[in-house]
């Protein structure tokens, strides 16, 4: 069961009219993971930041990996579970970005920008999670 509706959807403006642009959530989560990796390479590592960076990279790249798994889910229940993992990992990514911003003041603005994208992903996965409950 492939969930094509969540994978690629038509964007619309504020009035609901299609803009002609499409977004691919799989591509968006992959780009997010790549951007976080580049950000992490720019953080000066020390005893405080090293574990934060490791956790950040794990959580941020897990969002895309779990979305790919959700997209190829064999059942509604598996899809629902994978989307819930995406949601949790996006929320965890926000936490690690906040901690890195506190630990490394020179990266605070970049962390804030990434936090905003992680928050948007969190909101998207929360909406999918709420709308798509498995049949019991």
Neighbours of 97 (CB within 10 A): 28
pLDDT tens digit sequence for 76-110: 899 999 999 999 999 999 999 999 999 999 999 99
- List the chain domain ranges: 23-131
Q: Residue 26 is encoded by which pair of tokens? A: 């799989």
The count of C-alpha atoms lying within 13 angstroms of the C-alpha of 120, restricted to the half-sphere facing its C-beta, is 9
Phi-psi region of 120 (alpha: psi -120 to 50; beta: other; left: phi over 0): alpha
Q: Which residues on adjacent β-strands are paired with residue 8? A: 24
**pLDDT tens column, 21-55:** 456 999 999 999 999 999 999 999 999 999 999 99
pTM of the model: 0.80
CATH of domain 23-131: 1.20.1440.60
Closest CA to 90 of 52, 68, 130, 61: 61
Confidence of residue 133 (pLDDT cuts 50, 70, 90): low
Strand residue runs (E) in the chain: 8-12, 18-24
């Amino acid at each position: 069961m492939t969930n094509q509706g969540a994978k690629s959807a038509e964007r619309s403006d504020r009035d609901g009219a299609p803009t002609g642009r499409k977004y691919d959530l799989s591509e968006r989560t992959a780009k997010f993971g790549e951007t976080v990796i580049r950000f992490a390479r720019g953080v000066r590592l020390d005893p405080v930041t090293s574990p934060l960076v490791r956790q950040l990279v794990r959580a941020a790249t897990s969002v895309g990996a779990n979305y790919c798994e959700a997209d190829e889910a064999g059942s509604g229940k598996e899809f629902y579970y994978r989307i819930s993992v995406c949601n949790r990992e996006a929320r965890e990514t926000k936490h690690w970005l906040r901690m890195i911003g506190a630990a490394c003041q020179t990266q605070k603005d970049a962390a804030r920008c990434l936090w905003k994208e992680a928050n948007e992903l969190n909101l998207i996965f929360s909406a999918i999670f709420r709308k798509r409950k498995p049949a019991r």
